[in-house]
Chain A
Amino acid sequence: MSALGLLYYWVFAALLMIGFYAVVAKQNLIKKLIGLSLFQAAVFLLYITMGKVIGGTAPIFQEGVEGLVFSNPLPQVLILTAIVVGISTTALGLGIVVRIKEEYGTIEEDEIQESDHL
């Protein structure tokens, strides 16, 4: 049970590192942003996992039903807003990538650095 109890955290660590790998190892700027999205999603998963209570349900009261156990609403609120903020900042990143492509003619990081040093 203890291994199973930590499984979600390990999946979080795996997803976080897959996203991190894309950010540090890939040269393509769009691929880096995809990696950043994966990284972000891993953090969302960690928060939601921590708010879960065994045997709980979504924190919405139902009329005539007593004695329900609710999962923690606070991490859900934080992540709910973070998702929308995340897409806005990703869009900003994509906008910058599009402008880089127009100015440099490429979105590969090493090629951009080469043309900067010329």
Chain B
Amino acid sequence: MIIVFGIFLITMLVITAIATVRSENLFVAVMLLGIFSLLIAANFFILDAADVALTEAAVGAGISTVLFLGALALTNENERSRQGMRWLSVAVVAVAMLVLIYATFDKPAFGDPNAPVQQHVAPWYLEQTPELIDIPNVVTAVLGSYRGYDTLGEVFVVLTAGIGVMFLLSAGPTVGGPTLKRMPKNAGIGLRHHPIPRVVGRLLVPFILLFGLYVQFHGEYGPGGGFQAGAIIAAGFILYALVEGESRTLKALPQSALTGLMVGGALLYGAVGLTGILLGSSFLDYSVLASDPVTGQQIGILLIEAGVGMAVTGVLLSIFHAFAAREMI
């Protein structure tokens, strides 16, 4: 039964992807991309990746769609139908596709427990986690502790991208070009004149934020953690901005607070790592944070997950505001 469902889902995936690329109206393409994200999240779920499914659903189907729409509002909704090198592209893609399919014949069959990828460090993680860290969710354990360096790097990449977007979009056009118009104060009143989305949106926002906090602090026990929670909390605030307008959202959570969140989150993560050194162990070794190494690991993971959640919320909301504050020239 699950196999039939899986085949149905991947067929839908391919169809949606083709429709996304073929659609000449970019608004339609962005909506289809949102559907694609939701479908691939369902796929991740039946492939046992609950944490990844949660992230993809919040980020791909939620925030990514909003950011693409924000960019569309500042550019063009319609793609000019194109001419030219189409058949060359088709030929290149077809050849690459054949090479890829040829390469798959050497791959281990789907779900093979003896595949090389299952024989490397993964069994060690699964065996040692109850002893060394003692939290049920192995994904969180690997993310926060065993692979803490990777995650720290990713957080700084996210922070850098956020700073990049703010630099790009807060600057005006070059000298001599048209002058930048900032959103007037009364603009962006959102959907205030549509009662149904407004009422439903206002009702939903507190529950979305509560769910975000649950995902943040329950990440050790079930699917969840800082990345998912950050995306969900950001989605809650974006919904508030869509129904109530930009200015009210910025009143509730001003840009200075967002900057504080994104920098503070990354610094909190780094500080936990440095504390490990100061207490006489190595960078990002949490065992020394408490008298008992297992408790130390748990405290460390809780702290760095909080840092990740803060940084992701701050960055995603700052990016959203950077797009929303700019007006088309």
Contact = CB atoms under 8 A, between A and B. Distances in A.
B112 interface: yes
Contacts of B286: none
Contacts of B121: 74
Interface residues of B, number: 110
Given A17-B96, A83-B60, A102 B173 contact: yes
B97 A37 contact: no
Contacts of A110: 82, 84
Nearest to B7: A7
Contacts of A97: 71, 75
Contacts of A90: 64, 67
Interface of A: 1-2, 4-11, 13-22, 24-28, 30-31, 33-35, 37-38, 41, 44-45, 48-63, 69-92, 94-99, 101-103, 106-108, 110
A6 B105 contact: yes
A72 B108 CA distance: 15
A5 B14 CA distance: 18
Given A24-B93, A25-B82, A79-B52, 19 more contacts: A6-B107, A10-B101, A17-B96, A22-B21, A30-B26, A31-B29, A52-B48, A52-B110, A53-B48, A53-B113, A57-B48, A58-B49, A72-B118, A74-B122, A76-B49, A81-B150, A84-B230, A89-B161, A97-B75
B154 A84 contact: yes
Interface of B: 3, 7, 10, 13-14, 17-18, 20-21, 26, 29-30, 33, 36-37, 40, 43-44, 47-52, 55-56, 59-60, 63-64, 67-68, 70-72, 74-76, 79-80, 82, 84-86, 89-90, 92-94, 96-97, 100-101, 104-105, 107, 109-113, 115, 117-118, 120-122, 125-126, 129-130, 136-139, 141-143, 147, 150-151, 154, 157-158, 161-162, 164-165, 168-169, 173-174, 177-178, 221-223, 225, 227-228, 230-231, 312, 315-316, 319, 322-323, 326, 329
Contact of B117 (A19, A72, A107): A72
A20 B227 contact: no
Given A58-B48, A81-B143, A90-B67, A21 B157 contact: no
A28 B49 contact: no
A8 B110 contact: yes
Contacts of B89: 21, 24-25
A15 B37 CA distance: 13
A87 B57 CA distance: 12
A87 B76 CA distance: 21
10 contacts: A1-B109, A51-B48, A51-B122, A52-B111, A54-B111, A58-B48, A73-B126, A77-B150, A81-B154, A81-B227
Q: Which secondary structure dominates where chain B touches chain A?
A: helix
Contacts of A86: 59
Given A48-B47, A73-B138, A20 B93 contact: yes
B93 A31 contact: no
Given A21-B89, A25-B86, A77-B142, A88 B136 contact: no
B79 A80 contact: no
B86 A85 contact: no
A73 B120 CA distance: 12
Given A84-B230, A98-B74, A18 B21 contact: yes
B48 A15 contact: no
B92 to A, nearest CB: 7
A78 to B, nearest CB: 8
A22 to B, nearest CB: 5
A78 B319 CA distance: 23
Contact of A77 (B67, B74, B143, B158): B143
Contact of B33 (A5, A34, A82, A95): A34
Contacts of A20: 93, 96
A114 to B, nearest CB: 13
